[in-house]
Chains A and B, each alone.
Chain A
Amino acid sequence: MIKMPFKTLRLMMYVFIGGYCVFILTPLSWMVFTAFKKRGEIFANPSGLPNELYFGNFERVFSSGIGTYFLNSLITSVFSVTGIVAISTLAAYALARIPFKGRMWVYMLIVASYAVPLHAVLVPMFQLLDGFGLLNTLAGLILPYIAFGIPFTVILLYAFFLEFPKDLEEAAKLDGCSQLRTVFFIVLPLSKPALLSAAIFQVVFVWNEFLIALLILTSKEVKTLPLGLTSFQGQYSSDWGAIMAAVLLSALPIVALYLAMQKHFVRSLTGMGK
């Protein structure tokens, strides 16, 4: 094996990371620049900075009902993520701490359900929601999101609860706490990093989810942002400025969330929220 000098290796890494950043950031910067350009300028100067900051694109986007999509996405995200975290927390704690017959089988089943591809269950899910009369409602979107979010969150929190110091729970038991009280007063307050990691991960998934939304939602009043963006494209097929402004607006909350909770977000991807 050829031994590479450390400096050369570092230089190669920087070149790779730099190239990757350019690859990722070029379309993003193009999106931001285009959102602030007039229509003529988009085609005359597609990749450069805007000559002046033009907010007309945003005005058109706001006047065409992005607020509804935004609100729908917000409602969907809040209810889905709350549901996912609440159910997964109790399930993961029970799996990690309460001995019962078939505990490992239940856990394996949850892990296995994580491996089921979304596309394989689209048709039965559609029929199920149709049967319950939930098509074209936000509840019909929130319930599948919760179902799809639970396995990953349970896996993440199960690993966390296994490592949770048992002494603290035993001290709570001696202090007179029931198991449920121990969970709410001792375990959950100390599991904030893990719960936050799980929540952030699911917010990103739910906020950006497109396929299930496309399947379930048809009327404009219940559409979420990713779905709403496609209708913009149809409506403004040649108005790239408005499309980019809408995309920029839809990405802003997630970017803001990422910046505010960068530490937890990286943790959720690397260290299971510890």
Chain B
Amino acid sequence: MTTLTISNLCKSFGDVDVLHDINLAVQSGEFVVLVGPSGCGKSTLLRLIAGLEDIIDGTIQIGERVINDVEADKRGIAMVFQSYALYPHMSVEQNIGFCLRVARQPSALIREKVQDVAQTLQIEQLLKRKPGELSGGQRQRVAIGRAIVRDPDVFLFDEPLSNLDAELRVQMRLELMKLHNRLKATMIYVTHDQVEALTMADKIVVMRDGVIEQEGTPIELFNNPCNKFVAGFIGTPKMNFLHGHITTVTEQSLHLELGEGVELEIPNRWRGHDAVGRGRKVCVGIRPNEVVEGESGVSTLRGTISVVEQLGRETLSHMVLPNKQYISVLENGQHFHEPGTPWTVSLKPEAIYLFDEHEQTIALTKEFA
């Protein structure tokens, strides 16, 4: 069984620090997804694990073995590249069997292993073709096949689905999950698509600017984001954020001034917290599906409908408040709101998040947690 442990890992390119003090433990058989915006360092982290970049500081261990100075091909790692990186001059069969040929395995064994992998991925009929004669999905399978044939301890995937169209992406996502269930292998998967992260991961690691912001199961991250960045990054449509400051604090409620006369009252579920005091800047977060049309007594906002997106089963409406802040509302079913008309919405009290001026999530008082 293979665990992967990353301790105090740092990486810089020239004067640019790309990764700062990364610590991560991946359990055996775990499917870990590294997610974050472009340039956050997730691909660099993957390349460091693969041995394609030199480690400046810190250690990477597979099991008990530190692999910092181990050659890429001796680490027991296989990687699927974003571009698939199939050798265009070799057939599918040669592509899959190349690493075995380099390792001077007997040709009968190579043939047998390639056949096994082709059978697993249902690409037997493609073995004699060149990569140029394959569709995107087929190339993807071959790239995965090339990884499987090495029988690695850890699989690395660098945005492997980003070149596929939406339909194929969903299909390949399912196939990758099935593959993971079948192989029970440790997999580390990089993506900037949080839907992929939420659907596939045992554990999600959210990164920003070279640091890990939060790690946890998809549901943990969705329900308990540690800061505004994670809250905004995980979940579609994106969480609404309303910026303002606290004007009145009572035992039951908080009164917020959101600017230009817009006020919001929310139940006080953060009693006694330092960041929840009169005059403190805060940010209210609420997911679009937790905002409902109409007045519910408290936490009501009035504005004008700006844009309405019909999603078929749901309707996503964007309302602009008098202070020019926007709030999105996701309703089940088809609703035909007229852009430009006044609208009133209410926030579900139990679904409100509050972030302090440093964008950290303010913890709920025990009785509400």
Contact = CB atoms under 8 A, between A and B. Distances in A.
A171 B83 CA distance: 11
Interface stretch (B97-105, B230-238, B265-273, B290-298): B97-105
A186 interface: yes
B99 A176 contact: yes
A230 B161 CA distance: 66
A174 B72 contact: yes
A171 B86 CA distance: 8
A167 B88 contact: no
B177 interface: no
Interface in A245-263: none
A181 interface: yes
A173 B81 CA distance: 13
Contacts of B102: 175-177, 181
Interface in A133-183: 165, 167-168, 170-177, 181
A174 B78 contact: yes
Given A189-B89, A190-B88, A170 B98 contact: no
Contact of A168 (B78, B82, B85, B146): B85
B298 to A, nearest CB: 55
A174 B103 contact: no
B50 interface: yes
B64 to A, nearest CB: 22
Contacts of A175: 73, 98-99, 102, 146
B83 A167 contact: yes
Nearest to B52: A170
A174 B82 CA distance: 15
Contacts of A190: 87-89
- Which of A167, A171, A173, A190 has most chain B Cβ within 10 Å? A171
Interface in A39-87: none
A176 B83 contact: no
B77 interface: yes
B79 interface: yes
B231 to A, nearest CB: 34
Contacts of B85: 165, 167-168, 170-171
B81 A167 contact: yes
A176 B103 contact: yes
A167 B160 CA distance: 13
B77 A174 contact: yes
Contacts of B103: 176
A172 B146 CA distance: 11
A171 B73 contact: no
A172 B101 CA distance: 12
A176 B87 contact: no
Interface in B62-99: 72-73, 77-79, 81-83, 85-89, 98-99
Contact of A173 (B73, B83, B88): B73
B81 A170 contact: yes
A101 B108 CA distance: 45
Nearest to B74: A176
Nearest to A190: B89
A96 B175 CA distance: 39
A171 to B, nearest CB: 4
Contacts of A171: 79, 81, 85-87, 146
15 contacts: A165-B85, A167-B82, A168-B87, A170-B52, A170-B85, A171-B86, A174-B52, A174-B72, A174-B78, A175-B73, A175-B98, A175-B102, A175-B146, A177-B73, A189-B89
Given A171-B87, A173-B73, A174-B99, 16 more contacts: A165-B83, A167-B81, A167-B85, A168-B87, A170-B81, A171-B81, A171-B86, A173-B51, A173-B72, A174-B77, A174-B79, A175-B73, A175-B146, A181-B102, A189-B89, A190-B87
